[in-house]
Amino acid sequence: MNAAIRFLNDLRRIGASRDLNTVFDERLTFGQRLADRVAAVGGSWGFIIGFGVFLGAWALVNTVVLAAHAFDPFPFIFLNLMLSMLAALQAPIIMMSQNRQAAKDRLEARLDYETNLRAEAQIEELHAKIDSLHADIARLVEVRAPR
């Protein structure tokens, strides 16, 4: 949350007319960009299908092709170790990306709220001006109306 507040304060200095996504993305560090890229790749159908093919090939090679001399025979203990290590590294990286997206969403909601407040204040001001014009017109009509 503190990152979103700091970003909001910096954005006020930059000007609210710039695109929030562009400004937010310009401030990302290399590690944050990498985490977003890992999350984008790891959550894609291409990755899921490719990984499924890899797992199927691993099982096929170790059970059929290299049956007698398999480097990771069934129940594929080495493969399980690699999958566990991948999950242990990938999960926190994806969570970092999700936390940053949540901060970005909170910031966008805050900016929307502030925009709505400004619009509401301007509408109230316009209502006051229109009410003033109506009162002026009513006074003019009274003055010019013959009795």
User: What's the pLDDT band for 60 if we cut at 50, 70, 90?
Assistant: very high
Which pLDDT does position 6 carry in this prediction?
Answer: 61
Which pLDDT does position 142 carry in this prediction?
Answer: 86
**pLDDT cut 70: percent of the chain above it:** 86
User: What's the pLDDT band for 50 if we cut at 50, 70, 90?
Assistant: very high
Which pLDDT does position 96 carry in this prediction?
Answer: 93
Say which residue, 25 or 121, is predicted with more confidence.
121
* Residue 15, pLDDT above cutoff 60: no
* Residue 17, pLDDT above cutoff 80: no
Mean pLDDT score, 64-76: 88
Q: Which of 53, 57, 47, 59 is nearest to 86 (CA)?
A: 47
Instruction: Record the tokens describing residue 116, joined without a space.
Output: 């709505």
What are the angstrom distances between the C-alpha of 144 and each of 110, 134, 135, 139? 51, 15, 14, 9
* Residue 112, pLDDT above cutoff 60: yes
Of the listed ranges 18-22, 55-59, 63-67, the least confidently predicted one is 18-22
Q: What is the value of pTM for the model shown?
A: 0.63
Give the span between the Cα atoms of 80 and 82, in whole angstroms. Answer: 5
Which pLDDT does position 79 carry in this prediction?
Answer: 95
Mean pLDDT score, 76-83: 95
* SS3 per residue for the chain: CHHHHHHHHHHHHHCCCCCHHHHHHHCCCHHHHHHHHHHHHHCCHHHHHHHHHHHHHHHHHHHHHCCCCCCCCCCCHHHHHHHHHHHHHHHHHHHHHHHHHHHHHHHHHHHHHHHHHHHHHHHHHHHHHHHHHHHHHHHHHHHHCCC
